[in-house]
Structure 1
């Protein structure tokens, strides 16, 4: 399956990594709940999510062992059975390990790679471009989705760097954190790559730039796929009034997840908060979070639960429409 920029249309749903009951222990040898993973992927497929991605931040790419990462990817590949494109997440502490891990994930059947960058130090913009050029050179023809998270990776990808990245044929899209740089970054790259807004930010971009805003990403797909897919269908069919209504509901569902409305505070505990909201949404059993990201401030818990419960309400509402 050769994936091009024009194939990046609709929802790129990022899934969590369901955990076994003992996943919180340091001596757990296999923390992947494969049964729950299969259930989750079948659910996402059945809901009509266009593209699957895995092992970003709340997908715990940083807490899985190499073997677990590979086995989890295999499970998604086998369950998905190429019914839709699957980008396997790969983020390590250096370029060479990322390339080696990327080769392994492609060898077991991933359709492309969702690539973060090393987190030890912030990277210069020229180094960011070189990093992705190196990966593309090492893995020619492998479709790449750039992972742009300024908090996790200690730097925002600049518009100038995006222009350079858009010239790399392997790069088909970038998961964007949103905010004031979303529109200028989208305009800067044009149709050479997809700049992906978060699902609640898709409608405003689609209204202003329908030729550019053809896809979004979401971390809520395992909470409630139905409203997110409904939003995608509305936008792609040009029914922007309906998309506006659904978008308001998506924002309502996500709002309690951010402690005090602060993205930075959320990011410090996004893995733990994610497990709480997935469990509260009720579609999958995420299990416990993996070490070292175990603790979460007590005052953050009610918001995470409320977020999951709001997603459950939307899933009931929109799921009943199918």
Structure 2
């Protein structure tokens, strides 16, 4: 008696291997992809090894105190990245705070609200924003944005100065004739400029994930009487949650490594300065750009150690973001 006649479930047979011979084109394409991936990993490893070797003498002198010292005097062996690393994180935090709602709203508008005939134009405009050189953003922030944002910084300091990171030393609340120099060249202004630089990257990732939301679930939500916002809230956003997180972290990685735009705006200080509205800020990349030309041999090693710390930080952020984005593109489910 067969298994079917006995009313029993047949054992699941293992899938048959695909023995189809690959053509020469498939083999060449596979070799090209493998080679490209290997080259990228080799370059990243080479950069890390180069920085580690060049930073070896500085790291031997300072050890773990390199991460806790705020001063930068490598010629007398008194240096560290505590101040610049905190400044770097503050600028990146301000950038992500403003870029996230901007990128999220733009991505939702393009994927779900904008007419079809306008979507291609809007996508091209967003992509062109990502292609603008960072020095252009820096000059725009220095000569245009800074003068218009000082009033906002003053207002935030006057009314919300009781919050520690919004307090400004030397500010005179309620005095319209007070000097505005205490608000210029701050982490807040640099973060706004970096926010406009990273928003296109975040928007592209989010838009791509939002566009993959299941059409059947969208139509089902509309059939049940949902409004457009209801479809976005119950179908698109839950499905694209991973894309939002991944895009935000990719933007964070870009914000951490931004150099020229930040260098043009900030006034470098080598003290831990947690007040984002107050003049004076710093970042690791700006530190390297500032001291690269006049550094001694040991000072160059110290700069390489700072670059190594930034390299590892951005590497962790970008790899985490890539894994989140990859998971968001398969097996995602909405709440509809």
- Normalised to the residue count of structure 2, the TM-score between the two structures is 0.22
Q: Which one scores higher on RCO, CA 8 angstroms, separation ≥ 6?
A: 2
| Structure whose alpha-carbon radius of gyration is higher | 2
Q: Which has the higher strand share?
A: 1
Q: Which has the higher helix share?
A: 2
- Normalised to the residue count of structure 1, the TM-score between the two structures is 0.22
